[in-house]
Structure 1
Amino acid sequence: MANPLFMAAPVCLIENTHSGELLINPEALRILSQINEPVVVITIVGMYRTGKSYLMNKLAGRKNGFSLGATVQAHTKGIWMWCVPHPHKQNHTLILLDTEGLGDVEKGDQKNDCWIFALAVLLSSTFVYNSMGTIDHYALEKLHYVSELTDLIKVKATKSLEEEDKEEEEDIEYVRFFPNFVWVVRDFTLELIIEDQPVTEDEYLEYALKLKKGNNKQAMMYNLPRLCIRNFFPSRKCFVFVRPVVGEDINKIESLPENDLDPKFLHETLRFCDFVYRQSEVKTIKGGHHLNGRMFGTLAQTYVETIRSGAVPCLENAVISMATIENESAVKEAMAYYQSSMVKLAPFPMEAEEFSQMHGRCEKEALEIFMKRSFKDEDHQYQQQLMEGIIQSYHEFLERNENSSVMTCHGILKELSAKMEHNLELGYYSKPGGYQLYKEDRDVLVQAFQQKPRKGVKAQEVLDKFLEQKKVEAETILQADKKLTDSDKQLAAEKERAVLMEQQKAAEEEKRIHVEQQLKDQERSHQENMVQMKEKMNAEVESIKKEAEKALNCKLKEQEELLNKGFIEKARLMEEEIEGLKKEINLQKIHDLAVLYGKLLGFALVTLRDSSDNQDKKNMNQSQQKQRQK
């Protein structure tokens, strides 16, 4: 499979069947699933046979790719996708979406056109509307789809009675999440002059979007599409293109040398592409979370399935649905990383501190993987799942390390004691002075064992049990040694007990250090989770604030324009929205701080409870083991 960032040609993302049914293309989803980079999504919409595909091919850096067609029959059906490396943003992918032409006479289904238009808005970072001739009332009438967006897109899953009584307040919500709006006017033949004054393309667009005063039905119908564009989209930009060539050659534009095209057209095309490359932002969803290709595919699939079910796409529901998928995958990915890293890095057996350091590094990196992928984990249930999974794996690796230590130490002792076992079989110690020979060999064995590296966390415990097992053997040799007097034997027996007692203390100290290290690991794990969670929450809070600030800036700009045009009443009505946004931004700081520390405290209590439970279980198991030994 070729790298999806170097697709040779576009593929269909959303198929529009002859029956008007929308279907997501599994092949497109497969391609998107391989793109882990942030994506910038450009979508173009317009009436059919208006040259949309030519501009998209130029954005892709190709002369052809998207079907241009050369007849009055519409070529692009549904929404086609082309993923290419972003020419200006390193490690970003540019996703170009070319939609089928609106108003196709062969289709005759206005509702279907509305859904294509709505999907283009929902999926894009920059929304390009392509039209012919001029921006006049007729052109805006063709853009009636924009006035139906409130019927086709919901921001919130549920609304209070107060919100339902104030539907217009959702304008603020739309402007937070809608793409930037670019109007491209093709075959423009007029001069950019208004009231005898030269104007820019953007001023021309603003003039076309000027509202008509009055409250009658005619004024309201005239203002509706203009208000939608002004209120829904966070920014507006306009480009006007002269006709590229004269005559029938327009149908062969993709095959013509650039020298045959009007220089003004070529210049405007370069300006358009440069603007789109530089000004288009990474695609985000509600909450400001950046999307990669995989997440974008999930988003498209969610919207299409919602439409197919007969429901209306909802931004909030889409985010919740995507968050569930991504958070579950984030837990799995982080757990897989932790486990594979521990297996790869762990040369069992390991000493307690070495094991702790390795666990701490793997856990920190696993958490970073989780935090990078997860979002909207509001009650931190997924982070808690990850933490519980890591704790369980940590104890499993601890057990593996302990078992490895026991096996290694047994192997060392078996090897070192082979000579003594051979001497015992030959009766080497069953002679006068034999106890001294036995004791010297045993001391050499113990010293050699202690000097062996990488014995792990059970070395002293295994040695303690080994010497305990040799207790009867040593006592028998001692009592049989005819060279020693009774007082010598009594003194030697006391020394034997002292040696065993000292080794028992060493084993207990080893166990104490091991348990203490586990408690330190739990505390460090807790602190690492708290630190990364706080950083994540602060970043999410900042994204939400930016959304509100973007909406505020748009409303302030719109209010200023209304005041300048004499729409004092409309500007006054916006004051409540503006004040609400200001309060939201200011109060958000206090509220989010309180919520942040509340969640941190709650997470800390859950963490400490679970840690305490795990330690209680471990202590209980150790107590039961001691009872069995007694």
Structure 2
Amino acid sequence: MASRTYMQNPVCLIENTQDGNLVINKEAMKLLYDINEIVVVVSIVGFYRTGKSYLMNRLVGKTHGFSLGSTVQSHTKGIWMWCVPHPTKRNHCLVLLDTEGLGDIEKGDQKNDCWIFSLAVLLSSTFVYNSVGTIDQYAVEKLHYISDLTELIKVKAREEDDDDEELDLLKISPAFVWAVRDFTLELKINGQDVTEDEYLNHGLQLKTGVARKVMEYNQPRECIRNYFRSRKCFVFVQPTASKNLNQVETLPENELDPQFVDKCREFCQYIFAESDPKTIKGGHRINGRKLAILVNTYVDTIASGSVPCIDDAVTCMAKIENTAALTDALTHYQQRMDLMAKLPTETEDLAEMHTLCRKEAIELFMKHSFNDRDQAYYKQLVAEVQNHFFELCRKNEAASMEKCRDLLGSLSTEMEKKLREGFYAHPDGYRLYQEDRQKIILEFHSTAGKGIKAEDALNEFLKQKAPEADFVLQADKMLTDKDKQLAAEQQRAAEAEQEAQAQEEKVMAIDKMRNNDKMFYEESVKHLKLKMEEEKENLQREQKMALDSKLKEQKELMEKKFDLKAQTMEGQIESLKQQQQSANTSHIWETVAQVVQEVLATGLDAYISHKNLKLLTRR
């Protein structure tokens, strides 16, 4: 069990105002945003005064929390939320959503009930329908909200993609649990004992025929079969004598019916063990922050008068999450580099820092990003990291050049003084000048911490000193013309050699960039491949769940002699098999390699452009 306690008591997540508007509670959203663990979301829906809240309180291990009320008034207005550490799944958060009672006579707004019902379906991984009495025609008819789901929930953003809305809805649908309260009958059908699940399936059994009444009878039953990944039933006896029902939350357990207590315990154990984490389209498991984004997106859409669209919600979530992941990763890189890089420094040191910090930034990004189409945000992160690195390189070069110029200026102070005093304007002055200059060069080379522009700075210094050296050479009366010509040639050779060393410094920088790219290529392939494998597994899990659900439903229909309906499912089953096969054979390696090559090419080109160099190679 997670050690963290999220909430001591439930809070209103979505308020249903008196004028029928749904309003998000900002404080509740803040609580959700702080939950980084994967969430298992269990919602409960049913008509008011049917004991929904009591069951939800039992899931927290308490008899109070969600408001039960003791009158005929509906107490839960809107959707209330209680987030607690999951009792059996480590590092998971159990999010309970208690909805206001359907059919509230004080509200009298059926459309509002439909939105509450739809939000419960959209947000949960397990959907509990709570009713009183038996599963009969009357009970199923009261569940007419299910028949409106395809009108109240849109899966795909574009109408031309709306080729199989039912199948797409199934992929992201919650598990369905029917809790039948105050059950007084024996679990028998045609004189035979049956399980609770068999009792539910019997209540959802279809009729044959095409008459209008038959189709009306079948419609809600078909919707339950088609829109939910699995079905489960629990029947509860009345918890206590009728006169004490309004005090059930205060009664000790030993004053409740033992059968009721046992069934509550069985219900809780099932929810804890079988309720899956909440997923969105693509099979991605979400945390509290992502759930908050879903809540905000769906409620805003409803408030605008539109129908919630799952594709749009996922796109919105991906944009928010990937932007945040990009910002966090880039900030991490920049702060770490700025902290570690003490300029000026050597190229190797800066490159090592860059490699380490870039790896950390990419790992951070990969941890929080998802659904990054064409790896656009990843490419942007790498480009931004490269730009920051190049800017640090520029600052490092400038700091190095400044330090080297200051050092050379300091080292040549005595030599400048001798020039002003005419020390070299005597016979043998050029030899003395050469010795002093060589002493400066040796001392410059032996000084540590100059950075990466040492050879460039020395090259610049010697070029500046060239006219001065030539003047001293020509003024030396002790040298013959031949000696002067030979000395001038030696001077030019030394300058050329220094120029070559400065150029070699630039070539080494590009070679190091290539080596750095080789390491980055290996890192990027590893990270991208792991990320794409993860998303592939998510998709496969989603498709397998949908396929298993359809195959199970087809088998049940065939057992009940609904061969025609079973045959009509063949197209959906074949489509799911093809999707699963496509996911299994997706060419992850080719995609990864293409993305990394694009990033590397851009990076090296940008570096060469930054250095204003031609692409040089060693001879």
Q: Is the 8 A contact 2:366 2:527 kept in 1?
A: yes
CA distance in 2, matches of 1:404, 1:520: 24
Question: What is the aligned partner in structure 2 of residue 90 from structure 1?
Answer: 90
The worse-fitting range, judged by mean Cα deviation, of 458-467 and 261-270 is 261-270
CA offset at residue 75 of structure 1?
0.7
Specify the SS of the correspondent of 2:449: coil
Paired positions, count: 612
Question: What is the aligned partner in structure 2 of residue 60 from structure 1?
Answer: 60
CA distance in 2, matches of 1:264, 1:448: 94
Counterpart AA for 1:177: I
Question: What is the aligned partner in structure 1 of residue 400 from structure 2?
Answer: 405
Are 1:117 and 2:117 an aligned pair? yes
Are 1:78 and 2:73 an aligned pair? no
Structure 1 pair 491–30 and aligned structure 2 pair: CA distance change class (3 A): same
CA offset at residue 312 of structure 1?
1.4
Specify the SS of the correspondent of 2:373: coil
Are 1:336 and 2:331 an aligned pair? yes
CA offset at residue 101 of structure 1?
0.7
CA distance in 2, matches of 1:551, 1:247: 43
CA distance in 2, matches of 1:422, 1:8: 81
Question: What is the aligned partner in structure 1 of residue 617 from structure 2?
Answer: none
Are 1:108 and 2:108 an aligned pair? yes
CA distance in 1, matches of 2:27, 2:170: 32
Q: Is the 8 A contact 1:4 1:83 kept in 2?
A: no
Could you report, residue by residue, the CA deviation over 1:177-231 in whole angstroms, capped at 9, with x for unpaired residues? Answer: 1001112222233333334443332222222222233333333222222221111
Counterpart AA for 1:102: L
Are 1:614 and 2:606 an aligned pair? yes
CA offset at residue 430 of structure 1?
6.0
Counterpart AA for 2:41: V
CA distance in 2, matches of 1:585, 1:257: 51
Residue in structure 1 matching 2:240, options 242, 245, 264: 245
Specify the SS of the correspondent of 2:606: helix
CA distance in 2, matches of 1:266, 1:435: 107
The worse-fitting range, judged by mean Cα deviation, of 45-54 and 240-249 is 240-249
Specify the SS of the correspondent of 1:9: coil
Could you report, residue by residue, the CA deviation over 1:576-626 in whole angstroms, capped at 9, with x for unpaired residues? Answer: 322232233224444x33xx567557646754664575366447x458xxx
CA distance in 2, matches of 1:43, 1:417: 81
Could you report, residue by residue, the CA deviation over 1:275-324 in whole angstroms, capped at 9, with x for unpaired residues? Answer: 22222222111111222222211111111121122221121222222222
Residue in structure 1 matching 2:306, options 278, 302, 311: 311
CA distance in 1, matches of 2:506, 2:69: 78
Structure 1 pair 427–242 and aligned structure 2 pair: CA distance change class (3 A): farther
Q: Is the 8 A contact 2:390 2:610 kept in 1?
A: no
CA distance in 2, matches of 1:539, 1:8: 35
Question: What is the aligned partner in structure 1 of residue 320 from structure 2?
Answer: 325
CA offset at residue 407 of structure 1?
2.0
Structure 1 pair 136–524 and aligned structure 2 pair: CA distance change class (3 A): same
Counterpart AA for 2:59: L
The worse-fitting range, judged by mean Cα deviation, of 268-277 and 400-409 is 268-277
The worse-fitting range, judged by mean Cα deviation, of 498-507 and 120-129 is 498-507
CA distance in 1, matches of 2:233, 2:415: 94
Could you report, residue by residue, the CA deviation over 1:136-181 in whole angstroms, capped at 9, with x for unpaired residues? Answer: 22222221211211221122223449x66xxxx4332222110011
Specify the SS of the correspondent of 1:380: helix
CA distance in 2, matches of 1:475, 1:435: 9
5+ residue gaps, structure 1, are: 624-630
Question: What is the aligned partner in structure 2 of residue 226 from structure 1?
Answer: 221
Are 1:560 and 2:555 an aligned pair? yes
CA distance in 2, matches of 1:466, 1:62: 82
Identical-residue share of aligned pairs (%)? 51
Question: What is the aligned partner in structure 2 of residue 578 from structure 1?
Answer: 573
Residue in structure 2 matching 1:261, options 245, 256, 259: 256
Counterpart AA for 1:201: E
CA offset at residue 545 of structure 1?
2.6
Mapping of residues 372-451 of structure 1, within 5 Å: 372-421=367-416, 436=431, 438-451=433-446
Counterpart AA for 2:95: I
Specify the SS of the correspondent of 1:255: coil
Residue in structure 2 matching 1:353, options 335, 348, 367: 348
Question: What is the aligned partner in structure 2 of residue 32 from structure 1?
Answer: 32
CA offset at residue 82 of structure 1?
1.9
Structure 1 pair 504–223 and aligned structure 2 pair: CA distance change class (3 A): same
Are 1:174 and 2:166 an aligned pair? no
Q: Is the 8 A contact 1:4 1:31 kept in 2?
A: no
Counterpart AA for 2:172: F
Residue in structure 2 matching 1:205, options 200, 204, 210: 200
Aligned alpha-carbon RMSD (Å): 3.0
Q: Is the 8 A contact 2:52 2:130 kept in 1?
A: yes
CA offset at residue 70 of structure 1?
1.5
CA distance in 1, matches of 2:296, 2:608: 47
Structure 1 pair 453–256 and aligned structure 2 pair: CA distance change class (3 A): farther
Residue in structure 1 matching 2:533, options 532, 538, 541: 538
5+ residue gaps, structure 2, are: 615-619
CA distance in 2, matches of 1:538, 1:263: 49
Q: Is the 8 A contact 2:390 2:607 kept in 1?
A: no
CA offset at residue 509 of structure 1?
0.7
CA distance in 2, matches of 1:567, 1:289: 35
Residue in structure 2 matching 1:510, options 497, 505, 508: 505
Q: Is the 8 A contact 2:525 2:593 kept in 1?
A: no
Specify the SS of the correspondent of 1:6: coil
Q: Is the 8 A contact 1:4 1:35 kept in 2?
A: no
Structure 1 pair 416–37 and aligned structure 2 pair: CA distance change class (3 A): farther
Specify the SS of the correspondent of 1:211: coil
**Superposition TM-score, scaled by structure 1 size:** 0.88
**Superposition TM-score, scaled by structure 2 size:** 0.90
